[in-house]
Amino acid sequence: MSNTISSRLVVLGSGPAGYTAAIYAARAGMAPIVIQGIQPGGQLTTTTDVENYPGFRDVIQGPWLMEEMQAQAEHVGTKVVWDHITSVDLSHRPFRLTGDSGTSYFADALVIATGAQAKWLGLPSEEHMKGRGASACATCDGFFYRGKKVAVIGGGNTAVEEALYLTNHSHDVTLIHRRDSLRAEKILQDRLFANEKIKVVWDSEVVNFVGGGTPEALVGLDIRNRNSGEISRVDVEGAFVAIGHKPATELFADQLELDEDGYLKVDLGSTRTTIPGVFACGDVMDKIYRQAVTAAGTGCMAALDAEKFLAAQEYEAMAAE
Ligand code: FAD
Ligand code: NAP
């Protein structure tokens, strides 16, 4: 049976941006609804140690931090629902969102905090080996490769953190990077280079995920040296692709303006999108900083922008009566 839920403010997404928007909106009396999506808590639920979120002297865990954010949002009056939104109609207010559950959500204002998702290399062999040794989340799947040789592909913070994390399970971790220097922060690079369980293969790209055995499982990666063109085999049973993320904006592509990389465009210094009453925050509109704390910061901005928008609408409606 289809169901209808109406709210002054719907927050789409339950990462640091969405929950922070909800905390501010709830405290401003907007009684927001947060729609969690298929990844409740967002990207930080795929990691372990978080050392750079302010307020915690000791290392905290990503999933724990997100549970605390949800609890805080609910405590101040947010309704959190599990649903995955499959279509949106932003052509008139109230905006309409339709979920997998069959529920239609109507919102006077909308905060989009749908974040970003892991990118894959796009090789057919990679697709074939997903679940058979190819993964995009070491913290989720690393445990399955304890005592085995593994590789991480990429050169950013995620790749380096995943390589370091995997040394908890494996004595032999190979980081494969397409250039001759890493993009990751220096402190992470220092830890990586100091770790004897990790070796780095530079200037190389993966060209094939190699399967073998019955049932079939990953036995290696074929890599090509980008300088010499030489192809060689790295024997690994787990390969973790950590080459960045793509913003979750497909839902809005024909309704809101996106930039050349698919991120939602907002007015400079605000979270206003190209449709009045629709605001965007977090990784879905930020391709530069992409941190939990910046996502939370823009989540706060989105709630304040939405509050101002709704107050102006309500004042105009009253004045017209
Ligand atoms: P996300 O966390 O991506 O959340 C997006 C939310 O939107 C999810 O809840 C999802 O379910 C929901 N959603 C998407 N589409 C739909 C839909 N159609 N319907 C309903 N809901 C939807 N940052 C740090 O500051 N410190 C760190 O130590 C750190 N470590 C990291 C480790 C890893 C492995 C990764 C991948 C990232 C890390 N980051 C770290 C970056 C940080 O996690 C992100 O910047 C942050 O989570 C972005 O928050 P967000 O709220 O914008 O989006
Ligand atoms: P990223 O910073 O965009 O790095 C992606 C890496 O993958 C780059 O090294 C890139 O190579 C490589 N790459 C991209 N496409 C590739 C391809 N097709 N084939 C091979 N290699 C490819 O992504 P990220 O590491 O996931 O980090 C995302 C954001 O989250 C960043 O802002 C990061 O700071 C943040 N984050 C922070 C922390 C932390 O603060 N502790 C931890 C994790 C993530 P090039 O270098 O050649 O471009």
- pLDDT band of residue 1 (cuts 50, 70, 90) is low
Q: Is the peptide bond before 54 cis (omega within 30 degrees of 0)?
A: no
Is the pLDDT reported for residue 296 higher than 60?
Answer: yes
137 is catalytic: yes
* Distance between CA atoms of residues 231 and 220, nearest Å: 13
Encoded tokens for 33: 């609804």
Distance 285 CA to ligand 1 centre (A): 12
Bigger pLDDT: 321 vs 98: 98
pLDDT digits (tens, 9 = 90+) for 260-275: 889 999 999 999 999 9
Report the C-alpha dihedral over residues 62, 64, 65, 71, rounded to 10 degrees.
Answer: 150
Protein residue whose Cα sits closest to atom 6 of ligand 1: 13
pLDDT digits (tens, 9 = 90+) for 14-54: 999 999 999 999 999 999 999 999 999 999 998 777 888 99
Report the C-alpha dihedral over residues 22, 28, 33, 36, rounded to 10 degrees.
Answer: 0
In three-state secondary structure terms, 81 is strand
Is the pLDDT reported for residue 115 higher than 60?
Answer: yes
Q: What integer best gives the mean pLDDT of the chain? A: 95
Quick check: CB of 244 below 6 Å from ligand 2?
yes
Is the pLDDT reported for residue 166 higher than 70?
Answer: yes
275, 266 contact by CB (below 8 A):
no
Encoded tokens for 157: 């913070």
Average pLDDT over residues 118-137: 93
Quick check: CB of 65 below 6 Å from ligand 1?
no
Protein residue whose Cα sits closest to atom 32 of ligand 2: 290
Residue 281: predicted pLDDT: 98
Could you tell which of 38, 45, 52, 114 is best to mutate to test the pocket of ligand 1, judged by most ligand atoms within 8 Å of the CB? 114
As beta bridge partners, residue 107 has 7, 95
Encoded tokens for 194: 């100091």
Q: Exposure pattern of 222-252 as b/e (b: 16+ CB <10 Å)?
A: bbbeeeeeeeeebebbbbbbbbbbbbbbebb
Protein residue whose Cα sits closest to atom 47 of ligand 1: 43
Is the pLDDT reported for residue 112 higher than 90?
Answer: yes
Bigger pLDDT: 261 vs 130: 130
Quick check: CB of 161 below 6 Å from ligand 2?
yes
Tokens 């941006």 identify what position?
A: 17
Q: What are phi and psi of 240, to 5 degrees?
A: -110, 115
**pTM, full prediction:** 0.81
pLDDT digits (tens, 9 = 90+) for 212-261: 999 999 999 999 999 999 999 999 999 999 998 899 999 999 999 999 88
Residue 72: predicted pLDDT: 98
Sign of CA dihedral 56, 61, 65, 68: negative
pLDDT digits (tens, 9 = 90+) for 80-106: 999 999 999 999 999 999 999 999 999
Quick check: CB of 152 below 6 Å from ligand 1?
no
Q: Which of 49, 89, 100, 140 is catalytic?
A: 140
Protein residue whose Cα sits closest to atom 28 of ligand 2: 244
Average pLDDT over residues 112-130: 95
Q: What is the CA radius of gyration of the chain?
A: 22
Is the pLDDT reported for residue 2 higher than 90?
Answer: no
Which is the closest atom of ligand 1 to the Cα of 118?
36
Tokens 């490769």 identify what position?
A: 145
Ligand nearest to the CA of 245: 2
DSSP state of 93: S
Quick check: CB of 248 below 6 Å from ligand 1?
yes
Which is the closest atom of ligand 2 to the Cα of 160?
25
Distance 294 CA to ligand 1 centre (A): 11
Q: Which of 108, 141, 286, 305 is catalytic?
A: 141
Residue 126: predicted pLDDT: 97
Could you tell which of 183, 192, 226 is best to mutate to test the pocket of ligand 2, judged by most ligand atoms within 8 Å of the CB? 183
Residue 232: predicted pLDDT: 98
300 is catalytic: no
By percentage, how much of the chain surpasses pLDDT 90?
Answer: 86
Residue 117: predicted pLDDT: 84
pLDDT digits (tens, 9 = 90+) for 173-207: 999 999 999 999 999 999 999 999 999 999 999 99
281 is catalytic: no
Element (H, E) at 127: helix 124-129
